A and B are shown apart, each in its own frame.
Chain A
Amino acid sequence: MSKIAIKAENISKTYRLGEIGTGTISRDLERFWKVKIQGKEDPFLKINSHHTQHKDQNQIVHSLKDINFEIYQGEAIGIIGRNGAGKSTLLKILSRITAPTTGVIKIKGRLAALLEVGTGFHPELTGRENIYLNGTILGMRKAEITQKFDEIVDFSGVEKYIDTPVKRYSSGMYVRLAFAVAAYLEPEILVVDEVLAVGDAEFQKKCMGKMNDVSRLEGRTILFVSHNMAAISNLTSKSLVLEQGNILFYGETNKAIYAYQSLSKNKLSYLSTKKESDNIPFIKKVSVITSEGTALHQHGATLKIVFEIYAPTKIPKAAISFQIFNEMQIPCVQLWYFGTNQPFLTQKGLHILTCTIPKLRLYQGHYTLKVYFAQFGGDTFEILSEICPFEVSMLNQKRDFPWQAGACTYLEDSEWNIENG
């Protein structure tokens, strides 16, 4: 039977907005003197906070609200959520950098948190000296480091430069050395922030492999925070989804990713604010229908894009086209519908155009649409940029070597022919 490694009960963290004091000691003393001793009005009170100074709930921000969860020994847990959902706050509380406002977290076993690689590295010191310094900062004993020293150096691959000050290292070497120290930390519970987004693909793979070993083979507990759903799904079996300081979902990673993706569902369509009475043609709605029904689309599945266009009268030679842009703002796909053989808006009213891409070959990544609506050889009615964001995922396409971000823009069908001789 597995035992509990971390038990969090009613964890909350609140921040007060604005300044806590007036910022300088003389003003605080003056305020104290005027308000408390002489009974006058606070000279530093902000004008608009006049009536709500004392019990103003608006000034308090809940970064975490009454969080409860349990993590069992040997589990690999992903923590996902949008920016500002409370991930970093939870990490900071777990790693004891800041204290919770209320609640208790009980931890069994040694916990080490890795919020950054190379914390406390000193540029003037050599690689060897920094291994010791960084190791002890992360909570290792000196004897422990000496024992693992060769392995650490081996993993980092910087043996030749181990007695050179780290300021002479390339940034890649620096990161490799820093991660190597962390990799041999060997605590019972490891909390890792998105630190793996550094180093080259080769090294990232090595890090992921190491983390996998740590959780699967060595039976340690891992908490892993990332925005990279592929990494989360590779590494963890269960995930915690945070949304505005609350736990939205806690359970199987696949379902957690689905829950997380659903958060951005409402952004999947574009809705116009224009009115039909204005007597100009316009795009009323654009929606992207992905394979998952959320912002997530599986590579190779059918993608549909639906345009709802309102025309006040018949529009001859109406033209519509759209581009799919990737994260680098490079257009990857262009599709269109216009010309004498492809008339639409042939009468007054609402027209629905559906574009079906039977097998979307775009590689994993984030994409947006740019839509052009015009009259061929005439007016441009509308250009809509960066609408309907969606993500293409390779989660259903397993291969032995993990998919690398940015390896290509699309995948082509191909056949290989092998001849022996």
Chain B
Amino acid sequence: MNQSISEDWNLIIEPKKSLFQLNLRDVWIYRDLWALLVKRDVVSFYKQTILGPIWFFIQPIFTTVIYTFIFGKLAGISTDELPQPLFYMVGITAWNYFAACFTKTASIFKDNEGLWGKVYFPRLVMPLSTITSNLVSFGVQVLLIILMMIYYFSIGTRFPLNAGILLLPIFTLLMALLGLGLGLIITALTTTYRDLIFLIQFGVQLLMYVTPIIYPLSSVPPKYHFIIECNPMTHIIEGFRYAFLGKGACSLFSISYTTILTFVILGIGLILFNKAERTFVDTI
């Protein structure tokens, strides 16, 4: 009857009508929660450990050492004339961040079953805070890369520093959003299909081998180039190497391809997640 009265409501609860009603404004209202969840993740990571934040270093260093030995020394795979440890370190750092975003987001419904069954907040805050808190270990590892670069610089290796370094934040953002998007798709599907959780455990590992982490794109035989280049992570990793070390394939095309694909995946992820979050309590 009276239009002005019905507009007064602060909140209207109804069955969701549109798939595209994402309520991103709610996420902004809960930004303090976002920040506190990041703090929780970081603080609880090293509480009651002897080495504390040093753990952030140990894993990438050991992986780099093993990779250098197996892929570099034993298998003798090319590293584009870059120092092997540095080559692997850059790849591992970027990949670890992507993999963490992806796997943590993919299990977000399962991990928060208890909490989400008891209290409402915009569910998207949780994966967002996860990808943010993973930035900390990523940042620490980037610092490690810089230290290694300084070391190699001091013994005579020269890196052609270029404007590509300015693209680093963009690559990082793309990685985070790609991991988030893929994770959201998987987690939305796991509310009905539990078996997908097993898939991603080894799926992420396999995916690493079709991404140029332990080999440069330039060493891939031309007939396989197309397959490897379909993988959006290929361009991000190559771009990363280009930004830091000046070697790697990076073009306007590869960046736009990755960006567009990332946003398409993120869009699909958000829609599926949004659909799943409304009733997941009833099905999980």
Give the residue name and chain of the B residue nearest to A143 (CB).
Answer: B32
Contact of B119 among A20, A98, A104, A120 (CB under 8 A): A120
A172 within 8 A of B: no
Identify B281's interface contact among A97, A107, A133, A165, CB under 8 A: A97
- A106 proximal to B (CB < 8 A): yes
Whether B119 contacts A137 by the Cβ 8 Å rule is yes
Q: Is the CB of B119 within 8 A of A132?
A: no
The contact of B13 among A15, A25, A94, A140, by CB within 8 Å, is A94
Whether A105 pairs with B12 at a CB distance below 8 angstroms is yes
Contact partner, A120, options B8, B13, B115, B192, Cβ 8 Å: B115
Q: Which B residues are in CB contact (< 8 Å) with A96?
A: 13, 120
Q: Does A246 contact B (CB under 8 A)?
A: no
Given that A25-B193, A111-B11 are known contacts, is A97 also in contact with B32, CB under 8 Å in the complex? Answer: no
Give the docked Cα–Cα distance between A320 and B118 (Å).
Answer: 51
* Structural contact, B117 and A97, CB atoms closer than 8 A: yes
- When A99-B279, A124-B43, A129-B40 are in contact, do A107 and B120 touch as well, CB less than 8 Å? no
Question: Are B119 and A107 neighbours in the complex by a CB distance under 8 Å?
Answer: no
Interface assignment of B121: CB less than 8 Å from any CB of chain A: yes
Q: Give the interface size class of chain A.
A: 35 or more
Tell me if A216 is interfacial: C-beta within 8 Å of chain B.
Answer: no
Cα(A358)–Cα(B275), bound, Å: 62
Report the minimal beta-carbon distance from A416 to chain B, rounded to whole angstroms.
Answer: 48
Report whether B13 and A107 are in contact in the complex, using a CB–CB cutoff of 8 Å: yes
Chain A residues lying within 8 Å of B47, measured Cβ to Cβ, are 124, 165
Q: How many residues of B contact A (CB 8 A)?
A: 40
Instruction: List residues of chain A with CB within 8 A of the CB of B8.
Output: 108
> B85-115 interface mask toward A, CB cutoff 8 Å, 1 = contact, 0 = none?
0000000000000000000000000000001
A109-147 residues with Cβ-Cβ distance < 8 A to B are 109-111, 113, 115-116, 119-120, 122, 124-125, 129, 132-133, 136-142
In the bound complex, residues from chain A placing their C-beta under 8 Å from that of B44 are: 122, 124-125
What is the distance, in angstroms, from A341's C-beta to the closest C-beta of chain B?
62
Verify B13–A98 contact, CB threshold 8 A. Answer: no
- Closest Cβ of chain A to B21, distance in Å, is 12
Q: Which one of A26, A101, A125, A139 lies within 8 Å of B121 (CB-CB)?
A: A139
- B279 x A98 contact (CB < 8 A): yes
Q: How far is the CA of A116 from the CA of B33 in the complex (A)?
A: 18
Shortest Cβ gap from A300 to chain B (Å): 41
Q: How far is the CB of A31 from chain B (nearest CB, A)?
A: 13
Q: Using A25-B196, A99-B16 as known contacts, say yes or no to A125 and B117 having CB atoms under 8 A apart.
A: no
Q: Is the CB of A107 within 8 A of B278?
A: no
Closest to A24 in B: B195
A165 to chain B, nearest CB (A): 7
Is B4 an interface position by the 8 A CB rule? no
- Bound form: Cα–Cα A139–B35 in Å: 13
Query: A420 to B7, alpha carbons, bound, how many Å?
Result: 67
Q: Within the complex, what minimum Cβ distance (angstroms) separates A32 from chain B? A: 13
> In chain B, what residue has the closest Cβ to A111?
B11
* Contact A95-B120, Cβ < 8 Å, known A25-B193, A129-B40, A142-B36: yes
Contact (Cβ within 8 A) A20 B11: no
In the complex, B22 has a CB within 8 A of chain A: no
The 0/1 profile, CB within 8 Å of A marked 1, for residues 271-284 of chain B is 00000001101110
Chain B nearest CB from A388 CB (Å) reads: 37
Establish whether residues B30 and A136, one from each chain, have CB atoms under 8 Å apart when the complex forms.
Answer: yes
Interface residue? A30 (CB, 8 A): no
CA of A104 to CA of B6, assembled, Å: 12
* Residues B31-71 near A (CB distance < 8 A): 32-33, 35-37, 39-40, 43-44, 47-48
Residues of B within 8 Å of A129, CB to CB, are 39-40, 43
List 5 other contacts, CB 8 Å, given A103-B14, A110-B10, A136-B36: A23-B193, A109-B10, A113-B119, A119-B118, A120-B115
Chain A contacts to B: CB under 8 angstroms: 15, 20-21, 23-26, 28, 92-111, 113, 115-116, 119-120, 122, 124-125, 129, 132-133, 136-142, 165
Residue ranges of B at the interface with A (Cβ–Cβ < 8 Å):
6, 8-16, 30, 32-33, 35-37, 39-40, 43-44, 47-48, 115-121, 189, 192-196, 278-279, 281-283
11 A-B pairs whose Cβ atoms sit less than 8 Å apart in the complex: A25-B189, A25-B193, A92-B281, A103-B14, A105-B13, A106-B6, A110-B10, A119-B115, A119-B119, A129-B39, A137-B115
